[in-house]
Amino acid sequence: MTLLTMSASDRFVANSTEIFQEHGIKLEVGYDFEVYRTLLAEARPDHILGDPFDPILHEMTSENALWIVGRDGDGKIMHTQAMRMLDLGTMSVGEYFTQRFREFPPSGVDLDLDRSRFRAGPSAKKMRGTCAYQGEYWIAPGNSGLRGRSLSGVLGRFAFVQAMQHWSPDHIMAFMVKSTAMRGLAEQGGYMHTQPGALRWYIRGVEAPVEGFMLHMDRDDLDYVLNLPLQDSVALAA
């Protein structure tokens, strides 16, 4: 298995720092999710902290979870995301979510959990070892969010580096709504692999389900992604 090289990590940190400074973005990494809940209330008052990162439901420390908050030049929060290590034990990712996908619902939605389901694809069945789950990903709308400059990819990769430096997981994965994934935002966020049809959430009173994709990468994928030139992707999308 190929480990993430220090040169790839160091190169990314140096290049991303330059990009963030250029756009007036300051990032903070934290571990207290009650503090994160307070920051979310400030930045996204209509958003409820998701169950996967709720410290009332899970014991989370710097050993297994972190959050990232980005502020613009005026000090306003323009970005959030979080990562958490999953306790897979001897299970594959597919086995883990087949049993426990109901613990990872979208935030603030009244779901019919009895009708909802997870389907493990071939990759999920093979993914074993340690795995980090990424969620709470948000960039503020409007010009202050800098969405149109491909910074979402840099911010996503920043979280990958944090996960590697903190825990060095064998895999990183996330879920994304089908409509968002089909617009190419999974790849823009840094992911190399997507599995359609992984999740099917049913909202109470709504007949049609909401489909979710599973995004995932292993160590070799991370090494490849973090070696890609950042300045080129940001310049092309500006």
pLDDT at site 235:
47
* Sheet of 193-201, strand order: 26-30, 65-71, 77-86, 131-139, 171-177, 210-218, 193-201, 117-118
Rounded Cα–Cα distance for residues 168 and 125 (Å)? 21
What H or E segment, with its residue span, contains residue 39?
A: helix 33-43
Query: How many CB atoms are closer than 10 A to CB 25?
Result: 19
* Cβ contact 215:191 at 8 Å: yes
- Is residue 85 a contact partner of residue 130, using CB atoms and an 8 Å limit? yes
What residues contact residue 52 under an 8 Å CB cut-off, 6+ apart? 58, 84, 103, 104, 133, 135
Looking at residue 66, its pLDDT comes to 98
**What's the pTM value of the predicted model, to 2 decimals?**
0.90
Confidence (pLDDT) at 2: 45
- CA dist 215 and 25 (Å) reads 26
Number of H helices, E strands in the chain: 9, 8
Could you tell me which of 121, 127, 102 has the C-alpha nearest to residue 197?
121
C-alpha–C-alpha distance, residues 82 and 133, integer Å: 8
* pLDDT by residue, tens only, the chain of 238 residues: 445 445 566 677 777 888 888 888 999 999 999 999 999 999 999 999 999 999 999 999 999 999 999 999 899 999 999 999 999 999 999 999 999 999 999 888 899 999 999 999 999 999 999 999 999 999 988 744 455 556 888 899 999 999 999 999 999 999 999 999 888 888 888 899 999 999 999 999 999 999 999 999 999 999 888 888 776 555 434 4
List the domains of the chain with CATH numbers.
Answer: 6-237 (3.40.630.30)
Q: What stretches of the chain adopt beta strand conformation (E)? A: 26-30, 65-71, 77-86, 117-118, 131-139, 171-177, 193-201, 210-218
Number of Cβ atoms within 10 Å of the Cβ of 17:
12
**pLDDT attached to residue 144:** 46
